[in-house]
Structure 1
C-alpha cells in the first residue's frame, strides 16, 4: 500500500507539472496505546506512529508561485510566497498555511514550491491526519530550504498551526508522535515538559487492530470542555486538603478516596479516572518492557472501563464494539481510543485471527446499529521522513 501511495502521488505530480518532483516525504498517522485525557492533566501518554501515511511530492521554483494539490480531494490552492497569509474557507489549506506563516516569520526563503499530496490515513478515524499534514509539510520545507529546524520545532509549529489557522486548541501528542515515531517503538511522552523516551513495542504473536465505528457524536467539543472544567474543580479541592499535591501525578487513589464525600460523585469519578490512567501508562511501559502482553491487555481494558464509566466520554457504538470483541478468546485487550464520543477502538489480537474477528464484529455491528464497520490492521512505524528509495 505504501509503494502504491508513493507511485500514485509521484505520477499525479508528473502529470500536473510535467517533471519529476525534487523530493518525496512520508508523514504517518498515529495511535495512542494508552493514556487518554491525561495530556491536559500533567500525565503521560504512550503514542506511536503507524504505517498509514500522507505522501508529499514536492519541488521548488524561482517564480515565487505556490501550488498545493490535494489529490484525494481533487482540489487545488494557489498563492504567491510573498502574499500575506490568513485562514481561508478550505480547511485542508489552513493546516498548511498555518505552518507556512510561522516559517515565513523565521526567514523563509523567497522561493515558490509545488506540492501534491495523497493519503492512506482514514479521515475522521482519530488517527491524526491533520498532524501528519502539518508536520509532513513542515518537514518537507525544512529539508528543501535548509531551515535548520529540529524535530521538536516541527512538532510545535504543527501544533501552533492548528491553534491559530484552524482554531483547534489541541495538545502536542499527535504532532510529537508523527515526527518522533520509531519502528516497533512507543513513545512515553510527558506532555508538560516534552521529556520522552522510547520503549519496545514488538508485539510478537499479537497485532494491533483498529475498528472504526464511523460515528462522531457532537458531544466531542462540549464534552471535552466540560471534562476539563470538572477536573480543574476537583484539583482545587484536592490541593486545599493536600497542599503538597501539585498535580494529578502527585495524587494517590487513597487521597481521593479520603475526600470522596467532599468531591461529590461526579468530580470524584472524573479525578479517579485521571489518577488511575496516569498510573496505567507507567504500568503499561513496564508491561511492554517485560513483553507481558496479557498485562498490557488488562490495562487497555481498564482504561476503556474508566473512560466509559468514570470519565463518561464513550458512546453506545464504542461500548458495543469493545464488549463484542472482549467475548473472543483471541482478543487480550480492547478500548476506545481518542477524545471519545466516536472514532476507533484499538484492539490487541492474536495474529492470524484478525480476519475471522473482523467478519464476526462487522456483522454484529451492522445488526445492532445499521452501520458498516471499517477495520485497519496497523504496524508501528517510523516518523516523518524523506523517502529516498527508488520504486521498481
Structure 2
C-alpha cells in the first residue's frame, strides 16, 4: 500500500514536470487510543501515528513560483511566494498556504517549488488528514530549505495554519502525533506544556481495527462549543467550593459527586466524564506498561459509555457499532474516536479475526441504517519523515 502510494505519486510528478522529484516525504494520519475531549480540559491524550499517509513528491525550482498538485482531487493551484499569501476559496490549498505564510514571515522562505501529493488517509473519518497535510508541508520545507525548525515548531506551525487560514480552532494533538509518532509507540501528551512520554504499544496478538460509520452529523462544531461552555461553567462552581482546584486535573471524582445537585444534571455529567477520562488515560498508560491489553480494552469501552451517556457527543450509528461488538469474544474494547457525532469507532481485536468481524458488523449495520460500513486495519507507525532524497533529480 505504501510502496504503491509512493510509486503513483512519483510517476504523476514525472508526468507533469518531466523529471524525477528531488525528495519524497510521508506524513501519517493519527488515532487516539484514549483521552477524548480532555485536551481542552487540562487532561492528557494518548495519540499515535498510523500507517495511512499523505505522500509528497517535491522539487525546488530556480524562481519563486510554486505549483501544488492534489492528485486525488485532480486539482492544481499555482502562486508566487513573493506575493502576499492569504486564504483562497479552495479549502485544501489553505492548509498549505497557512504553513507557507508563517515560514515566509518568520524564516524568509521565498524560493519556489513543485509538489504533487496523494493520500491513503480516508477523508472525513477523523484520522486527521488535515494535520498530515500541514505537517508534511512544514517538514518538507524545513528539510529542503534548511530552515532549522524543531519537530515542535512544525507541529505548532501546522496548528496555527488551521486556526488562521482554515478557521478551525483545533488543539495540538493531531499535529503533534503526526510529527512525533514512533513505530509501535503511543504518546502520552500533555496538551498544555507539550511534555510527553512514549509507551510501548506492541499489541502482540491483538490489532487495531477502525470501523468507519460513513456519517458525519452537522452538530460537531456547535456541540463542541456548547460542551466547552458547560465544563467551564462546571469548573467555576467546583472552584468556588474547592478553591485548591486549579484545573480538572486536580479535581477528584468525589468533589464532583459532592456537588451533583449544585452543578445540575447536565453540567454534572459533563464534569464527571472529564474527571473520569483524565484518570482513564493514566490507567491506560499503566496498563500498556504491563502489556495488560484486557484492561486497556475495558478502559476504552468505559470511555465510550462516558462519551455517549455523559458527554453526549456520540450518535446512533456509532453507538450501534460499539454495542454490536460488545459481546464478541474476539473484541477487548471499543469506543467512538474523535470529536463525535459520526466518524470511526476504534476497536482492539484479536489478530486474524478482523475479516469475520467486519463481515458480520457490515451486514448488521447495512440492515439497520442502509449505510455501507468501511473498515481500516491500522498499525502504529513513525511520524512525518523524509522517505527518499534523490539528488540526481535536481536540475
TM-score by length of 2: 0.98
Deviation at 1:133, TM superposition (A): 0.1
CA offset digits 1:274-332 (Å, max 9, x no partner) = 00000000000000010000000000000000000000000000000000011211001
SS of alignment partner, residue 73 of structure 2? coil
* SS of the residue 1:169 aligns to: coil
SS in 1 for 2:194: coil
Match of 2:152 in 1: 152
Aligned to 1:50: 50
Structure 1 310/229 Cα, relative in aligned 2: closer, same or farther at 3 Å? same
1:84 maps to what in 2?
84
Question: What aligned pairs does 1:125-144 form with structure 2 within 5 A after superposition?
Answer: 125-144=125-144
* Equivalent residue, structure 1, for 2:97: 97
Counterpart-to-counterpart distance in 2, 1:59 and 1:106: 22
* 1:111 partner SS: coil
* CA–CA separation in structure 2 for the residues paired with 1:386 and 1:256: 48
Alignment partner, residue 117 of structure 1: 117
C-alpha distance in 2 between matches for 1:110 and 1:332: 51
Q: TM-score, normalised by structure 1?
A: 0.99
What are the residue-to-residue correspondences of 1:146-185 with 2, within 5 Å?
A: 146-185=146-185
Report SS of the residue matched to 1:343.
strand
The offset of 1:27, in angstroms, is 0.0
Other structure's SS at 1:386 match: strand
1:64 offset after TM fit, Å?
Answer: 1.3
Residue segments in structure 1 that go unaligned for 5+ positions in a row: none
Residue 338 (structure 1) aligns with: 338
Q: Indicate conservation of the 8 Å contact 2:22/2:389, yes or no.
A: no
Aligned to 2:315: 315
- 1:213 matched to which residue of 2? 213
Taking the TM superposition and a 5 Å limit, the aligned residue runs for 1:234-249 are 234-249=234-249
Instruction: State the distance in 2 between where 1:354 and 1:183 align.
Output: 21
Residue number in structure 1 paired with 2:194: 194
1:160-214 CA distances to partner (integer Å, 9 max, x unpaired)? 0000000000000000000000000000000111100100000001000000000
- The answer to whether the Cα contact below 8 Å between 1:131 and 1:174 also exists between their aligned partners in 2 is yes
Instruction: Answer yes or no: is the 8 Å Cα contact 2:46–2:187 preserved in 1.
Output: yes
Q: Residues 103-132 of structure 1, C-alpha deviation per residue, up to 9 Å, x if partnerless? A: 001233331100000000000000000000
Q: Is the 8 A contact 1:108 1:147 kept in 2?
A: no
Cα shift at 1:22: 0.6
Q: Shift in Å at residue 65 of structure 1?
A: 1.0
SS in 2 for 1:138: helix
Matched residue count: 390
Q: 1:95 Cα shift?
A: 0.1
* 1:14 has 2:14 as partner: yes
Tell me, what secondary structure is at the counterpart of 1:93? helix
Question: Is the partner of 2:41 in helix, strand or coil?
Answer: coil
Counterpart residue number, 1:280? 280
Structure 1 residue 81 displacement after superposition: 1.2
> For the Cα contact (< 8 Å) 2:55–2:117, is it kept in 1?
yes
Q: Distance in 2 between matches of 1:96 and 1:388?
A: 21
Checking the alignment, whether the CA contact within 8 Å between 2:23 and 2:389 is kept in structure 1 is no
1:205-256 residue CA offsets vs partner (Å, 9 max, x unmatched): 1000000000000110110000000000000100000000000010001111
Partner secondary structure for residue 243 of structure 1: coil
Distance in 2 (CA, whole Å) between partners of 1:304 and 1:48 is: 19
Q: What RMSD over aligned residues (CA atoms) do the two structures have, in Å?
A: 0.8
Instruction: Report the secondary structure of 1:213's partner residue.
Output: strand
Task: Give 1:389 shift.
Answer: 8.2
Q: 2: CA distance between counterparts of 1:363 and 1:201?
A: 31
User: Counterparts of 1:251 and 1:209 in 2: how far apart (Å)?
Assistant: 33
Cα offset for 1:18?
Answer: 0.2
**Structure 1: distance between partners of 2:33 and 2:237:** 31
Distance in 2 of aligned mates of 1:362 and 1:52? 22
Q: Is there any run of 5+ residues in structure 2 with no aligned partner, and where?
A: 391-395
In the aligned structure 2, how far is the partner of 1:268 from the partner of 1:107? 47
2:103 and 2:109 in contact (8 A); partners too = no
